[in-house]
Amino acid sequence: MPCVLLFCLGNCFYKLNILDYSNISLKVMRIYHSPVMVQEVLESINFKSLGVLVDCTLGSGGHSEAILEYAKSIGKKIKILALDLDYEGIEIAKKRLNNNLDSIIIKQGNFSNISNIVKESGIDKVEAVLFDLGVSSLHLEKPIRGFSFRQDAELDMRFDINQTDSASNVINQESEETLKNIIRDFGEEPQANAIARSIVKNRPINSTLKLADIIVRAKKSYKYKSIHPATQTFQAIRMYVNNELDNINSGIKQAISLLKKSGRIITISYHSIEDRLVKKLLLEESRECICPTNILECVCNHSASLKLMFKKVIKPSLEEIRQNRRSRSAKLRVAEKI
């Protein structure tokens, strides 16, 4: 049975329902991408009123599996509509969710098109939407997908392999100026200038390791700290190739309008650029007025549609970070439709 615990976050105290998740955890942690902050995601869902949940980033199905198994364990019938851009991930998720296929509709699609996908599935409004953003370990660990600077492969980085433009097109065809802007804006890389110059000088660049080597050499003043010197540039190229920020912007706005009253939007982001955008979108929708601060009288006619469930982001426990290093940068945000 769920019990109630007082949970201390900075200066604020929150009441969280701590769910008995122990009986399903072994199954979830099998051999796939390990879903991040599962316990916290389950605690963020209001299972009492849950009918339909949209999992916008199915990946290999870890969160969906945990949600369905937990619902089953408390005798609650729910439906998940799950989508992902990545066909390969979907096939893996289908195997993982083999026991639950009657409770989940799985579609290949972009969450920037979530309103249409929900409508086409015969659904009107939903009780919860989950976004577990970014890249999956399946992408990083499979060299052929060309996401990782640790294994050699053709530069690719597309979530959807049917998309025409890959990282190779961007690296080999964009101007030095465009590359500099991409690396600076999507990677917050202080040495974007030098890296872009070096990329253009060394083209053609067709492999991940060649690109990583060019970046390392361009950043010669770089001292190895906690991350590999190519991390920010690879992140930037991936975000550009997959149009990630525009998709998040559009997906979250549509998700908010799909929620029923008291429905919840749950997001997990993994780096500051992504999280800043999510925070801005949720904060904006939780405000009555979004006029610029220098305007004395409100002219925006905006009204709040969300209530933020926590003032601060929720981060994974030290135990989770110890078990799954990928979770270390995760930030969970939850808001409720009002």
Ligand X SMILES: C[S@@+](CC[C@H](N)C(=O)[O-])C[C@H]1O[C@@H](n2cnc3c(N)ncnc32)[C@H](O)[C@@H]1O
The dihedral built from the CA positions of residue 168, 172, 177 and 178, taken in this order, carries a sign that is negative
Q: β-pairing, 79-84 with 52-55?
A: parallel
Which CB sits closer to ligand X, 111 or 149?
111
Residue 4 CB burial class (10 angstroms; 0-12, 13-18, ≥19): exposed
CB atoms within 10 A of CB 117: 21
By beta-carbon proximity to ligand X, the closer residue of 59 and 187 is 59
Classified as helix, coil or strand, 295 is coil
Kindly report the number of other CB atoms within 10 A of residue 225's CB atom. 7
User: Considering the complex, what minimum distance in angstroms separates the CB of residue 33 from ligand X?
Assistant: 4
Residue 130 token pair: 């989950």
Q: Which residues contact 227 (CB under 8 A, 6 or more apart)?
A: none
Helices (H), the chain: 22-28, 38-44, 62-73, 87-96, 114-120, 137-141, 167-173, 176-187, 192-201, 208-218, 231-241, 244-258, 272-285, 318-323
Q: How far is the CB of 92 from ligand X (least distance, A)?
A: 9
Instruction: Give the number of residues in contact with ligand X, rule: CB under 6 A.
Output: 22
Task: State the CB neighbour count (10 A cutoff) for residue 196.
Answer: 24
Interface with ligand X in residues 5-34 (CB under 6 A): 33
The answer to whether 159 contacts ligand X (rule: CB under 6 A) is yes
Q: How far is CA 286 from CA 189, 280, 308, 318, in A?
A: 32, 10, 7, 30
Query: Which CB, 52 or 85, lies closer to ligand X?
Result: 85
- Identified binder of ligand X from the candidate list 44, 112, 235, 254, rule CB under 6 A: 112
> C-beta of 286: minimal distance to ligand X in Å?
23
Segment near ligand X (CB under 6 A); pick from 44-52, 104-112, 167-175, 307-315: 104-112
Closest CB to ligand X among 59 and 316? 59
- What character string, x for contact with ligand X (CB under 6 A) and - otherwise, covers 169-208? ----------------------------------------
Cβ atoms of residues 277 and 292 within 8 Å? no
Quote the Cα angle for 267-268-270, to 5°: 140
136-155 positions binding ligand X, by CB under 6 A: 136
Q: Least distance from C-beta 62 to ligand X, angstroms?
A: 3
CB of 21 to ligand X, least distance (A): 15
Residues 240-279: x/- map of binding to ligand X (CB under 6 A)?
Answer: -------x--------------------------------
Backbone angles phi, psi at 306, to 5 degrees: -130, 155
* Cβ at position 14, least distance to ligand X in Å: 24
Selected from 132, 174, 189, 274, the binder of ligand X by CB under 6 A is 132
35 lies in the binding site for ligand X (CB under 6 A):
yes
- Return the axis-axis angle of helices 62-73 and 87-96, rounded to nearest 10°: 30
Q: Which of residues 55-94 bind ligand X (CB under 6 A)?
A: 56-57, 59-63, 83-86, 89
* Residues forming the site for ligand X (CB under 6 A): 33, 35, 56-57, 59-63, 83-86, 89, 110-112, 132, 134, 136, 159, 247
